[in-house]
């Protein structure tokens, strides 16, 4: 009984001794990570490393702003504005295109990155209707997705147990 306070005190000291290095390590990692205020602009840091993986898009161009280097696609629920950068690859029927080739009411598809600040940066922009090569590539992607989905889901027969 008389050693109980010493035991409790010793346990507390041991716990603090083991937790202190972990706390210091976590604090050091937090300090090492770059803060948003350290960069010159949020778009500069977002352009280096996109927040999310690239995503596909398709639709009709509703507006083009050559000064801001953006184009807008009007969707069913909301419009999306895509920013064109030096890294964006613009093509028309497989040939290189420029910002001047973007016009309203034209079919467009491609891929984009969504940055942490919500801006959408176009990675690829393909102008005009689907070509035969694009249609074949799309069919191949659909077949691959269906094949992957079929192999991922277990068959009902395999999961059913047989009773004698």
75 occurs within a structural domain: yes
C-alpha–C-alpha distance, residues 164 and 162, integer Å:
7
Label the pairing between strands 120-127 and 89-92: parallel
* Highest mean pLDDT: which range of 16-25, 34-43, 92-101, 140-149: 92-101
Judge whether 57 and 63 are in contact, CB under 8 Å: no
162 occurs within a structural domain: no
Q: Which CATH number covers residue 89?
A: 2.40.50.140
State the total domains in the chain.
Answer: 1
Which stretches does DSSP call E strand in 5-145? 55-65, 70-74, 79-83, 89-92, 95-96, 107-114, 120-127
146 occurs within a structural domain: no
Tens of pLDDT, residue by residue over 46-101, are 444 555 678 888 899 999 999 999 999 988 888 999 999 999 999 998 889 999 99
pTM: 0.55
35 occurs within a structural domain: no
Residue 145 CB partners (closer than 8 Å, separation 6+): none
Range(s) of the domain holding residue 75: 47-133
């Amino acid at each position: 009984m008389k050693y109980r306070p010493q035991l409790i005190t010793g346990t507390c000291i041991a716990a603090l001794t083991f937790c202190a290095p972990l706390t210091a390590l976590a604090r050091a990692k937090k300090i090492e990570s770059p803060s948003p205020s350290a960069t010159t602009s949020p778009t500069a840091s977002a352009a280096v490393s996109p927040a999310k993986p690239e995503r596909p898009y398709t639709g009709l161009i509703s507006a083009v702003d050559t000064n801001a280097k953006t184009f807008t696609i009007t969707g069913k629920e909301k419009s999306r504005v895509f920013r064109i950068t030096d890294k964006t690859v613009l093509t028309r029927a497989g040939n290189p295109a420029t910002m001047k080739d973007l016009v309203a009411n034209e079919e467009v598809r491609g891929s984009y990155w969504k940055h942490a600040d919500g801006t959408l940066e176009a990675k690829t922009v393909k102008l005009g209707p689907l070509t035969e090569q694009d249609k074949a590539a799309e069919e191949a992607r659909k077949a691959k997705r269906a094949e992957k989905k079929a192999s991922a889901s277990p068959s009902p027969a395999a999961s059913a147990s047989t009773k004698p």
